[in-house]
Structure 1
């Protein structure tokens, strides 16, 4: 069994590394530079977008962090990171809420794009405030996405919350910050962050 993560320490590859650390499976991390190896023919044959992360598991290629999180959780069921049957609705609902409305809303906020009220229906997230309120409301009532226990959905949703509250695209509301604290206390998150921080420091 081989797992290879193509990544960069200052990229969304940090999310995939965190997920890999949560699985406890051995993996190889291949660090690519943005304008060189990431755009090479060899790498583009794996990921035509020329971006990271890309996960290769025994020759099978998975891109996009939400997909990587779901794939690893299902591939290694003994980790307990996949949803139980009664958790599936919440798990998939919020995993893909983060991949679509939350990602769109926070990216628009970062770019300074304001959506005219009469065009909200054209966009998947519709309205920034409603998007944040929806997630905040859920986390006020649930310590983790699926209730009382951590799953792969918390890696993906949580990464969005950690990034957004850290860089100002998500407000530091109490429920969001409490959730962030629960995530950063996890040994796997700390291990993943330490590895990427060390790589980032070495390349600075």
Structure 2
């Protein structure tokens, strides 16, 4: 088994790093620099987007897709959804990857959607998308139910990122949810690895 992980520690690659640490399989991390993508990276992903993984020759890009792929491919980690978890697992992982992220980035970039056009976009309005996300993390201890899954890696990382940079309100429901995730050994390991890479690059 060969798994190559193209990443940058100041990117969404941090999410996949956490997922890989949760899965616990060997992987080779290849750090690519902004504006100077490696030829082998561009061969795998011509868009030059990190994160990207290559697993036994198969390329997977898009962060949520990578998390879902790793959970399915390495079932011994117990991160894929059980039958009763599938609806919430897929719903909230891809709600966060799609409407929530679009709402966050549009707002960050100053894109204003007129109220009469809200029905044309996936999130309706930023306020509505955040309220829905708050309800999702409040329904259970974890996003798909009482058990931690790969969906929590993606949703939790996104909430952590958006709140850290002031793009998402620091609501109590989000803080309680993140508190349940931050003590996971894999999160701690992944954060330490990427933070060390950032510190070394800054020296």
Question: What's the TM-score once normalised by structure 2's chain length?
Answer: 0.97
Aligned residue for 1:87? 85
What SS class does the counterpart of residue 6 from structure 2 fall into?
strand
Cα distance in 1, alignment partners of residues 195 and 39 from structure 2: 28
- Which residue of 151, 154, 164 corresponds with 1:153? 151
Report 1:66-85 matches (<5 A): 66-85=64-83
* Equivalent position of 2:2 in the other structure: 2
Quote the Cα distance in structure 1 between the aligned partners of 2:5 and 2:120.
35
Give the C-alpha shift of residue 142 in structure 1: 1.2
Q: Say whether 1:29 aligns with 2:29.
A: yes
Partner Cα distance (2:186, 2:41) in 1 = 28
Q: What do residues 47-86 of structure 1 show as CA deviations (whole Å, max 9, x unaligned)? A: 0111111101111110011110000000011111000011
Q: Secondary structure at the match of 1:182?
A: helix
Kindly state the Cα deviation for residue 122 of structure 1 after the two structures are TM-superposed: 1.6
Aligned with 1:45: secondary structure? Answer: helix
- Alpha-carbon offset, residue 41 of structure 1: 4.0
Aligned partners of 2:7 and 2:52 also within 8 Å: yes
Q: Distance in 1 between matches of 2:7 and 2:20?
A: 12
SS of equivalent residue, structure 2 residue 44: coil
- Mapped partners of 1:112, 1:189: distance in 2: 32
**Counterpart in the other structure of 2:15:** 15
Cα distance in 2 between the residues matched to 1:21 and 1:78? 13
For the residues of structure 1 that align with 2:27 and 2:48, how far apart are their CA atoms?
21
Residue 59 of structure 1 corresponds to which residue in structure 2? 57
Instruction: With the length of structure 1 as denominator, give the TM-score of the two structures.
Output: 0.96
The one of 134, 141, 144 equivalent to 1:143 is: 141
Root-mean-square deviation (CA, aligned residues, Å) is 1.0
Q: Which position in structure 2 is the counterpart of 1:115?
A: 113
Query: Could you list the runs of 4 or more consecutive aligned residues of structure 1 that deviate by over 4 angstroms after TM superposition?
Result: none
What is the CA distance between 1:166 and its match in structure 2? Answer: 0.5
* Structure 2 unaligned residues grouped into runs of 5+: none
C-alpha distance in structure 2 between counterparts of 1:43 and 1:148, whole Å: 38
Number of matched residues? 202
- Partner Cα separation in structure 2 for residue 93 and residue 27 of structure 1: 29
